[in-house]
Structure 1
């Protein structure tokens, strides 16, 4: 159970982090330096290769990264993970080669040329200094500046391309022929701006486990010997020596998707009785759908609580995962009742469903209601420690990224009071987040609640140190007594 949970949480963490950092809003408001700090704060070095595979997949799918500054941010993150080595030694150097091609935009070609020259002799005085200036600007501003320049601004990338050619020659032919097993849809679907981040995170979470799989045409493609051909003219028989159909392409059948969707709708429409989903009554479903849109009166909230008590199969509540953010903002009490029902449920698939709801709760934008929901849950059930740490980290990052000082100070005060409550109730282990929380308190030391939180952590740290030293002294005194008894 725990191994599966850790594996799912790792993919979820990578997908949510990339969907947030590579989102249109984040890449517009933050400089490359801030993006690098946020990225290294969320992603460990052990996940670099998986992150590189995911970014490569996003760059080759038009509906994942639609703007030029999002693509520039993605290229910068791939460079940032392996920046200690020249760019041609980067495991994902192919995406930089594609970005430098003529059909690519001028801004991306100039941007990649600077990254390719950082480790060259020319880059020591030119590209490195330019890169230092680029780190202070947002990707959107850099793309706007580079787009107005001419092709003469592209630095010489011969050293990078030569290194790539040498590395390509040493690669086995079978490895060259291999392609990714994840093939993009030929018709990219449009994603609405309001829900693009959540949809992209879900898509990445499904794709990440399969990114390492490849298809090698050399392992299964072979030409069937032709049948005997009786030609009236001897010249016509030469066509078997030089066949015309030598080009092989992968074809995607769109009817498969439509058939699956139609079969699902038919199965949903074929359900009879008063239940819209297994174990969920039509009344409860209508109440929850109304709670997604507006704040409900107390009598309807009580009715939702009573209806949830009668639910035996919580799999029917899965339709609430996508609407958990709206339910939390409009009716936090109903959100608490729903989550408690899912978290304490048992049966087949309950663990996976619990992870789905916890991931959706972590992905909700920080607000007073979301902190209220998490605080009430911690008083009722024991939540996974990893979920608590991820939620606190996301809240801290949200506070740090806010540009409006008034709104930022308000959320910092609320978060500090929330963290003090978790610490006093022993819900969170301070030692696991000591460095991050201390840095947060120091950054906002001018706020009274942040200073109080810092003093509380210091007192807990000093108490733990005193207990450790006391236990050490007692053990030393007991050992001395034993040695003296032995001498006597």
Structure 2
């Protein structure tokens, strides 16, 4: 059997309760019950089985038979029998059960039960049960012999069970110290949580297997319809009640942001028009106007341009003030331009007036052969 999540499914819960509510459970050896559990559940489901067993132990009404209670403890121990006790997640349950002393003064409760049977706590074990459980935890060598006993033999405290317990508990101080050391890394807030399930202070002796199944199903498998999980993740759906708990909430102020002068700032572009990219839109675009101006200037050196050609060339020079530096005009070619197109020569010289080479153009113009066109250019 395998089901997602950390709790048993409805079908798995029914299988577990049928094992515990077997009418012949008192006379069955613990070994046979363990084998039955191993056959019905896979290893990855053991933690879910253990969680259900702890819940049943905390609710005295749900395990009203001492044989059921003792068998549940044996199953809880044997789920992780092949691992160290410190790695068994349910070892604290055994330590708490064994260290609840009978000579403690009972705390009054409305139901007349003593202090170790208050709501939400584990039940008080008898002396024979404690001796048996301590033997099971400490004596791993004789564990097989212990598990051959039946709940009736252990609970009666007679016969072979009496020789087994010797009316003395085994020393589990080493186990307790190892457990404390193992839990030392946990924060105090993580170790003070309490379950959110509280049993009724009045025991109900009328519970039968069907009633226990319905209550256990509500607590173990069903998700609450309202309210966030206590002490859990408030973002996801709440887990079943058995996995909910209350613990002090650790609150702290949000740390301030560290201010750094050289820190990069991430820009979230909500509106692309807010930020424009610096890009030369004329890059990689053919300059057809400049090519046409070069052709007209090359023709102007050789012959007179028509009125339309002159107007077109002058318009191009007027549109782009820097075009005059790229149309092929040199001081040596100036005399040809003056003789063929004096108007063009005048406009070109006016645009070159701020150039560093303007003196060269003026020198050529003054020294060229006197003509009507040259005089016109000089006069302008």
**What is the TM-score when the length of structure 2 is the normalising length?**
0.49
Higher relative contact order (CA 8 A, sep 6+): 2
**What is the TM-score when the length of structure 1 is the normalising length?**
0.39
Structure (1/2) with the larger helix percentage? 1
